[in-house]
Structure 1
Amino acid sequence: MPSRKKTSMFAFAFLTCVCSFVMICVVLATQHWITSKVVFSGTNSSVTVSLTYGLFSGTCEQFVDVGLQVSEKTFQVADNLRNSKAKSMITAVVVTLVLSLLSSLLSSGFTCTNAVSNPYQTFLGPTGVYTWNSLCGIFMLLAMILFPVNIEENSLSIELARGCFSFLQTHIKSTHTYGYSYWIMLLVIILNTASITIICFYAHARYSKKKEQERPMENTPKDVILF
C-alpha cells in the first residue's frame, strides 16, 4: 500500500487534473471566446456589427451611426463561414481541445491509480502522469495560438459579420476582446503545470530518501564496522 504522504500528494494532483478536465468541458460548452466590433462603410454612414461567438455558435447585432439598432441574431459559426481555410482552423481548434480533454481524462486516471497503488515500475507511474499532463498543456497552448491566428489571418470576425448581414460593404476596422471561454484555457495550463510540479516534488523527495538509505559503507562509523 502507498504511504500516507504519497496518497495525499497524488490525491491533490488528481484534484487538479479533475479541475482541468472540467475547465476544458466549460471551454467547449461556452460560446464567449471573443467579442468583436467590426465597422463597415455604409451608403450614408458607417455600420458597426457587434459579435460574440465561440467555436460553434454566437450572436450578432448591427448598429448604425444615426442610432438605429437591428435586433440581435443568433448564428452558427460553420454556416456563416465561406472561407474554407477559416473553417479548417476552427475544426483544428475543436480537435485540439478534444485531444486535450482525453489527455486530461487519462491524467486523472493515472494520478488516481498512483494514489491507491505503487505502479512505479510501469508507465502508469509518475512518467505517465508527466506525459499526459504535458500533452494536455501542449494541446491547450496550441488551441490558444490557433484561435487568434484564425481571427487575424483569416478575418474570422469579418467573415461572420458578413454572414449575419450580407449587404455590408467595405470593411473599415475591427476591434477584438477575448472572453472568459478563451482565458480559461490559460487556467487549464496552470492546473496541468501544478499537477506536474506536485509529482516532481514527491519524486524528488522519494529519490533523496532512497539515496540517503543507500549511503556507502565507507560513511559508516568505524567502531560500528569493527563491532
Structure 2
Amino acid sequence: MPSTKKSLYFLSSALVTAISVGVLGYGMSTEWATTTMKCARKELGIFNGTAVITLKLFDGVLKRFSCPTFDNTDAFQVIPMLKKIGGSSVVLHGLVVCLLALCLLFSAVSILICLYNSVSNPYQTYMGPIGIYTCSSLSACLSVVVLIIFVVNVNVTIVAEDLIKNFSGNIAMDLKDQASEMLVGYYLVIPYMVLSLCAIALIYVYDHAAYTHRREQERPTEDAPKEIMMY
C-alpha cells in the first residue's frame, strides 16, 4: 500500500484534473466567439445593415438587422454549414473539436493513473508519474494549439462573410468592418490548461521529495566519519 502522503498527492492531482475536465466540458457547451459585420446591398452601396454571428463549437446563430433587407435570426449547425460553404474553415474547426476531444481523453487517462497510484505502488513506468507527466502535458499543449487555431479561423479566414452571404440568398451584397470577440467558452480553455499544469506540479513535488528520500537512504555512509569508513 502507498503511504498516506503519496495517496494525498495523487488524489489531489486527480481532483485538479477532474475539475479541469469539468471546466473544459462546460466551455465546449457554451459560446466561443461573436463576429459583427456591416453590410449593404451592392446596388445601393449604403452600409446601413449589421450582421452578428455567435458561434458555439457545434451550434451557431446569425442575426441580421437590415442585412440586406429585413431583420432575421437563423440558427445553424456549425460543422454541416461549414462543409456546405467549403474552404479551410471546416478543416480548422474540425481540428479544434478533435483536439479538444483528445484533451478530454488524455485528462481522463491522467485521472485513472492518479487513482491507480493512490492505492498501489507501480514502478516508474507509464503507470506512474511518467504517465501523468505525459498525459497532462499533452492536454496542456493541445489546449494551447486549440486557442491559436480557433482565433486564426475566426479572424483570418472569411468564414463569417461566407456564412452571411449563404443566408442572404441570391441578393448581391457588400460586407466590411469585421470585428470579432472571443467569448467565455474560448477563455475557459485557459484555466483548463493551467489546471493541467497544476496537476503536473503536484506530482512533481511528490516525485522530487520521494527521489530525494531514496537518495538519502542509498548513501547512508556519506556523513559517517572517515575513521569509521576506513574499517
Normalising by structure 2, we get a TM-score of: 0.88
Q: Which residue of 1 aligns with 2:217?
A: 213
What residue is the counterpart of 1:159 in the other structure? 162
Equivalent in 168, 175, 179 of residue 179 of structure 2: 175
TM-score by length of 1: 0.89
CA distance in 1, matches of 2:88, 2:55: 18
Output one character per residue of 1:74-107: Cα deviation in whole Å (capped at 9) or x when no partner. 1222343313311111111111111111111101
Conserved? CA contact 1:38–1:161, under 8 Å: no
Which residue number in structure 1 is paired with residue 78 of structure 2? 77
Q: Which residue number corresponds to residue 64 of structure 2?
A: 62
Q: Which moved more, 1:47-56 or 1:194-203?
A: 47-56
1:99 alignment counterpart: 102
Shift of 1:225: 6.2
1:164 Cα shift? 3.0
Where does residue 34 of structure 1 map in the other structure? 33
On the 8 A contact 1:23/1:188 being kept in 2, the answer is: yes
Write out aligned runs for 1:85-124 (5 A). 85-124=88-127
Give the deviation of 1:168 after TM superposition: 5.8
Cα 1:8/1:72, change in 2 over 3 Å: same
Runs of 4+ in 1 over 3 A off after TM superposition: 221-227
Give the C-alpha shift of residue 192 in structure 1: 0.5
Question: Which residue is 2:140 aligned to?
Answer: 137
Q: Name the count of aligned residue pairs.
A: 224
The answer (yes or no) to whether the contact 1:120–1:126 under 8 Å persists in 2 is no
Gaps of 5+ in 2: none
Moved more, 181-190 or 80-89: 80-89
Once the two structures are aligned, what percentage of the paired residues are identical? 29
Q: Report the alpha carbon displacement of residue 221 of structure 1 after superposing the two structures with TM.
A: 3.7
Letter in structure 2 aligned against 1:54: K
Q: Aligned partner of 2:163: which letter?
A: L
Q: Distance in 2 between matches of 1:146 and 1:46?
A: 32
Q: Label 1:57 to 1:168 Cα distance change in 2 as closer, same or farther (>3 A).
A: farther
